[in-house]
Chain A
Amino acid sequence: MKKLLMATAACALLPLAAFAQDKPEKLQVGVTTFLTGPASVFGVPAKDAAEIMAEDINANGGIQGVPLELTFVDEGAGTETLTTEYRRLVENGAHAMLAAISSGNCKTIAPLAEDLEVINIMWDCGTQKIFEEGDYNYVFRSQAHAGTEMLATVAYLLKTNPDFETIAVVNQDYAWGRDSWDIFSAALKALKPEVEVVGEFFPKFGSPDFSTEISRLQALQPDVILSTSWGGDLDTFVQQASQRGLTNTSMFVLPLAESSLERLGSALPSGHIVGARGDHYWNHPERRDDEDFKSFMAKFEEKTGAKAIYPVFHMSQGLAALEAAYDKAAEANGGNWPSEDQVIEAFEGLEFQGLGRPVSLREDHQGIEAQLLGMSVQGGEHPFATLENIMIFDGAELTTPVGEESVAWVGTLEPGWVDSLTVETYAK
């Protein structure tokens, strides 16, 4: 009898508990990142950065007074392990997830997050297809996509080297290498139709040797060589090209080289285009004098011994988006801890700032992020190339409109369109 009474009382109290959203003891966030495999060149610095940022957030009282607790999942262990781990974290009560670096993993995880009804911030993956092909309630992207990044690269190339006639491409043979070339070549065809593509090479992902491609390129002598490769592939390609003098005869366009500058050292000579998948640069011309930027960069360098690269910036944006959404939702909830639905509501039209310029979320949950590109220059105070003639493009003008498909949309642009863009230029 006593038991029955207790149970009745407990049931009567239950709805009350549901209304007054109790603050959790800690805000549990799962972060998927590459800790093994070739992409750990991005994943490991991002993890280091996330740890510093979480420490900073918690030192300042956490998010709405709740300390942040990060759990990392290795994307390098394969899709199966990743989804199992992802599920496990969510079922153990994770409040939000930051996933993923790999576009393939984002494609797997976006529908999974929807099924599990967990907020998922796509913090680094580049594929533009997720929001162009699907509609998601729980999934947000705190950065630009490949369409914006490639279009910014084409714009910078046309602004700095308007008279080139021939181009060749050397991309990795997987989704990113192929997709990025689709967008880049479609944009180039629309904006400068007379350019001739003289060579298309897609060496195997992780190829240790580009000697044959480099011989072929020296025979072809294109004005411009594009490579959206990254990590060890990009390092090897640029090193081998530089040793054999290809960097003297062709201009290289390297949209991800910001993440390799320090490793490449003197191998990347002056006068080649370097991109950063957004306005990401350890010496960001608009942010380098800000206190928060300076103090983070000092901490990061002390912890890792290296300059911050773009995944670090992307991580800062992912965490900033989460914090901003909780703050906005709590404010709308009269200062009380918000429910998940209220947080999701807060994400609509959210504006937040990580280490770069402020980023805003569109109604299709796509982030609008500024794009920074520059020209490599050697001979500064560092033993590696830095950037000069830096341009920061406004993200909104470069991002495919809602409801359009990127490759088709960039194909509708007209020559001369680049002159209409909003751009800030910095000597260095």
Chain B
Amino acid sequence: MNLTLFLLALFDGIAYAALVFIVAVGLTLIFGVMRILNVAHGSLYAMGAYLTASLTTFVLAAGLPPIFAFPCMLVSAILIGVVLGGPLEWLLLRRIYHKPEVLQLLVTFAIFMILEDVQRLIWGTQPIFQSTALQLMGNVRAFSVNYTVYQLILLPIVAITLLIGLRFFLRRTVAGKLILATTEDREAAQAIGIDADKVFLLTFIVGAGLAGLGGALASPTTSILPGIGADMIVLSFAVVATAGLGQIEGAALTALLIGLGRSFAVYVWPETQVLVPYLIMVAVLLVRPEGLFGSPAARKI
């Protein structure tokens, strides 16, 4: 493997890792605060993708310029967070925080299954492709290989912005500090007047919105069809478990590891491409069962 191929694999890995991180960070945020493994995260991702494709098609059909594809993504992510995530937490999850983990898993899995069927009802089974946003940004050429600006530059920038933004939000803003305090000790937080219910609702809306944003950002790059949510949730779980549940920086590093592992596998030994992310997970968990950044005593975000 020469330097050119090494760099190409590096680019591919980074572009892939960016998308994985955006989805996984929502999942890990929800777990860190609410201690709930949200399987429905995969559906929220899929719904975000479908909604963006539909909105973009609608906006273009209405005669607006293609640049409006980008606001469509943001609108979809917010809609997924507020319209879908909000009621989910308020009506369902709120009732199961004190129940055994198995039950929590079953409930979120049920939501996942229901939302899968909802997607089929609304969008049917034929693959949908809406790549206006990606085409708009064109290509960039590196070592005689074309990359899309969208995947190589925009996605990593969004991922890094999110990472920095989330850190800032949690450590420097009042709402973020409330979330951190509730995570640390829910009862103590309530004793000093923090409305824990409100904090949980806010966290879930943000987490669901991030899943929706992941789907929205993925939508121009791929065919949207039934089942994409299931795929993403499995990979996200691998990232979150490897990182240590609730670890945002860990999720970023793990996504990068998995992205690079996968792309180098394609260059060196394509047959192992599917295996590599899980090999990385097994290797990390063997050495550190609590995950890369996790601590056995208390998991914090």
Contact = CB atoms under 8 A, between A and B. Distances in A.
Given A213-B266, A216-B267, A245-B146, A208 B228 contact: yes
Given A209-B16, A212-B267, A216-B8, 9 more contacts: A41-B127, A200-B270, A206-B227, A208-B228, A208-B232, A212-B9, A212-B13, A218-B144, A267-B129
A231 interface: yes
B70 to A, nearest CB: 17
A236 B224 CA distance: 9
> For chain B, what secondary structure do more than half of its interface residues adopt (helix, strand, loop), or is it mixed?
helix
24 contacts: A37-B226, A44-B126, A173-B274, A201-B270, A203-B273, A204-B273, A206-B231, A208-B232, A209-B16, A212-B9, A212-B263, A212-B266, A215-B8, A216-B8, A219-B143, A232-B225, A235-B223, A236-B222, A243-B134, A243-B139, A244-B146, A244-B147, A263-B129, A267-B129
Interface in A231-263: 231-233, 235-236, 239-240, 243-246, 263
Q: Which of A201, A232, A263 has the largest count of B CB atoms less than 10 A from its CB?
A: A232
B135 interface: yes
Contacts of A219: 4-5, 8, 143-145
Interface in A177-235: 199-204, 206, 208-209, 211-213, 215-216, 218-219, 231-233, 235
A38 interface: yes
A40 interface: yes
Contacts of A216: 8, 266-267
Contacts of A199: 270
B151 interface: yes
B148 A244 contact: yes
A193 B237 CA distance: 46
Contacts of A212: 9, 12-13, 16, 262-263, 266-267
Interface of B: 4-5, 8-9, 11-13, 15-16, 19, 120, 125-127, 129, 131, 134-135, 139, 143-148, 151, 218, 221-223, 225-228, 231-232, 262-263, 266-267, 270-271, 273-274
A54 B218 CA distance: 41
B14 to A, nearest CB: 11
Contacts, number: 107
Interface residues on A, range: 35 or more
A344 to B, nearest CB: 35
A243 B145 CA distance: 12
Contact of B139 (A37, A200, A231, A245): A245
A218 B145 contact: yes
A232 B222 CA distance: 9
A36 interface: yes
Contacts of B145: 215, 218-219
Contacts of B8: 215-216, 219
Interface in A351-368: none
A215 B11 contact: yes
Contacts of A206: 227-228, 231
B48 to A, nearest CB: 14
The 10 closest A-B pairs by CB, nearest first: A232-B223, A232-B127, A40-B125, A212-B12, A208-B222, A218-B145, A244-B146, A212-B266, A232-B225, A236-B223
Contact of A36 (B9, B125, B143, B222): B125
B12 A211 contact: yes
Contacts of A231: 127, 225
Contacts of A202: 270-271
A232 B5 CA distance: 28
Nearest to B142: A215
Given A232-B225, A236-B223, A243-B148, A208 B125 contact: no
A235 B127 CA distance: 8
Given A203-B273, A243-B134, A263 B12 contact: no
A211 B139 contact: no
A44 B125 contact: yes
Nearest to B262: A212
Contacts of B12: 211-212, 215
Nearest to A260: B127
A239 B270 contact: no
A208 B222 CA distance: 6
B6 to A, nearest CB: 11
A40 B271 CA distance: 27
Contacts of A267: 129
A204 B228 CA distance: 13
Contacts of B274: 173, 204
A204 B227 CA distance: 13
Contacts of A204: 273-274
A233 B16 CA distance: 17
A240 B226 CA distance: 19
Contacts of B222: 208-209, 236, 240
B129 A235 contact: yes
B135 A37 contact: no
B113 to A, nearest CB: 12
Interface in A126-178: 173
A47 to B, nearest CB: 11
